[in-house]
Chain A
């Protein structure tokens, strides 16, 4: 289980998180909604140990991430995979090499790596793309390779950073379907997005981050029925809330 407890994070004078708390239960997809720049991606990087909080606890299975040393972080990252906003594929490597890189680090033998690459690419419907370079792929394909790279590690948690941003509706639907399938395969998802369709399609629970704190959390239906004007204005796309965002 991932738990954030009273987390604070600032970049200079910009106080992004101001006492943010959230529980991410196992076996479910939790969506973190919020405006651009509200600290959603920062939250994912705190969970993955790529950033350290100024205060508060970031617990993954009871381990406080900021307290972990290099070896502890390496162990933690065997349980966590990260799907980056723009896929963050390694340009100089083929699709196969991109996926194998993490498997090699886990000590898996060559034959098993190839099998796992094949399974992962089949899951994202990219069988046959092994030898292609990221520059030869469309944006949607790159995101699917990013998901394949994450899934190949068979992680317990997958952190998705804006997985459908910039994609057409059909490709977004494909990515949404993949996130549901990875959950069904047993991975707990924490999905950061401002895409409402993705939120309601993939999210078993939806949390809203507003002004550095948790504003609301519940199922999609619960959020739709919310009487909190911040939540309803966001869901309905009314500018009254956006005007208040700093």
Chain B
């Protein structure tokens, strides 16, 4: 069982950036993308996102399943929202829609605008995933504490984030040991007997020992922290983070993108669905 965070982008251009750059990029990009509905601009954002993703050097073979899951999941969401549940077209007046047909039984109107809104949503999710993956795979897991501390998160919580990442490998090992031990005792996790409730109850022999063992072991960590006077003074971090010129340029680029999308949302039609002439019937 491999549940530890994977540092797949090691050595890439993006992994050599200050990790704060990767966090800020996601924040700026998420708020940029949610403002854009014109698919021409969305294709532009997707191109930027894919270029950014490429700079993380994440081997595709290692994340093929993740991409398959993301694409399946977002396609399902877009389909349900746009077609089955009759998703609204943002800022569109119902009477102005170019309707092709109404779905039988549920009567949802399928219009040029609703199809393009669905396409914009699909592109947006893929772009967000492309920007999100480097955050998952191109930051060294040991750097998260220092990263969030330097981004202004209170240092006790930043330390808790750091501690969380340090606990993960040992808890993953404990979990595997517990599963093996319970299987040896005859626990059948995959058995369907007893329905959902039975299956849930069968998770307890795995869940309870793993959790209680971790809680019992916490006292050692608490004592160690107290003995080192945790929280009595300002904390320093082993990893020293400094922005270089490239880091500043990357942050400035994505901040400008957000600023431009916000201004364009008020002054242009970027936040409305654009319909190419060939999709307008008759």
Whether A associates with B in a native complex is no
- Residues of chain B whose beta carbon lies under 8 Å from any beta carbon of chain A: none
